[in-house]
Amino acid sequence: MIPFACPKLAYLSRLTSTNLVGKFTQSVRRIVQDVKDEGTSSGQTKEEVIETNERLRMVRVRLDENYDTAKKALVNLMERYNESKAERNVFTRYALLKAMIKLEPALHSYMTPHGPKFCKEQLTILHLRKDVIRLETQYWSLVEIPKQEKAETVPAFVLRACAIMEKTQKSGEGVKTSSKLAEEAADRKERIERLTDMTTSQIEAENTQMTNDLYRLLKKYTGLRNLIRELKSEYVSSKLYPMFPRYTMLKDMIKDIMHDPDYMEVCHEVDP
């Protein structure tokens, strides 16, 4: 006699079979994901791509500071140059041109009865705004970025620039307080937890985007850095000339920067 088949038992049997297949599928997916997370197309492990992500982020913060310093110095230089056009006295404007490029140590010597006298507003401008070419001699203010080799890929160049910036980052910086160190440690822990929850491929994609963004910023920063270096060289060379030829030379130095493509590309950027 054929036993009676209960529809409810048949349904439960199919449901159990479906659950087992689902669990097996999920298990296979986890194994595949674990295999993917053990390495990347570049041969890096997940821990290594996380470390690269941290390096890129830290260097980006450092480069942003250098870039803003260089850009603001040149933008302020142009503002001061335009303000100096209102000064009709050639001797006074000559002193202003020198001061806006390099703040003279003996600024108060111009207050003697034998020299031009600055008004209060001009003195405020000179005292409160940093000179430009002094940045050239302070390597911790503007870090030096190497040139990209012809056969060097973008990721290789960016990582080489990162290594250089990581070395120079320690110079010229003050000692951090315990509260600052604790804050940075907490921020780092939060970042690492976020990356840990991501797949290796996702972190790699983020690293690629960060590398490309950093590369573009490196190029813009290098352009401004070169302008400051050239300004210093021309300024020092101009000291060999008498006042009136040098007066024209100083104006031309500033106007050359004003019309340089590297400066024109960034001068209209809005600061965050």
d(CA 96, CA 82): 11
2 falls within a domain: no
Residue 43, Ramachandran bin (φ over 0: left; ψ between -120 and 50: alpha; else beta): left
What is the pLDDT, as a whole number, of residue 32?
Answer: 42
- Of 241 and 111, the structure prediction assigns the larger pLDDT to 241
Q: Is the pTM of this model over 0.75?
A: no
Place of tokens 């008498």: 242
86 falls within a domain: yes
218 falls within a domain: yes
d(CA 268, CA 68): 13
Q: Is the pLDDT of residue 171 over 50?
A: no
Name which of 148, 162, 167, 152 is nearest 53 in CA terms.
162
Considering 28-32, 102-106, 144-148, the range whose residues carry the highest mean pLDDT is 144-148
What is the pLDDT, as a whole number, of residue 257?
Answer: 93
Q: What is the pLDDT of residues 190-241, one digit of tens each?
A: 999 999 899 999 999 999 999 999 999 999 999 998 998 899 889 989 999 9
Q: What is the pLDDT of residues 36-52, one digit of tens each?
A: 444 445 678 899 999 99
24-28, 75-79, 187-191, 229-233: least confidently modelled range: 24-28
Percent of the chain past pLDDT 70, that is, above it, reads 66
- Mean pLDDT throughout 145-153? 88
Q: What is the pLDDT of residues 253-265, one digit of tens each?
A: 999 999 999 999 9
CB 69 within 8 A of CB 142: yes
Q: What is the pLDDT of residues 80-108, one digit of tens each?
A: 999 999 999 999 999 999 988 874 333 33
What band does 133 get if pLDDT is binned at 50, 70 and 90? low
Q: Is the pLDDT of residue 148 over 60?
A: yes
80 falls within a domain: yes
Terminal alpha carbon distance of the chain: 85
69 falls within a domain: yes
220 falls within a domain: yes
Domain ranges, residue 140? 58-104+119-166+194-271
217 falls within a domain: yes
176 falls within a domain: no
Tell me how many domains the chain contains: 1
- Of 240 and 119, the structure prediction assigns the larger pLDDT to 240
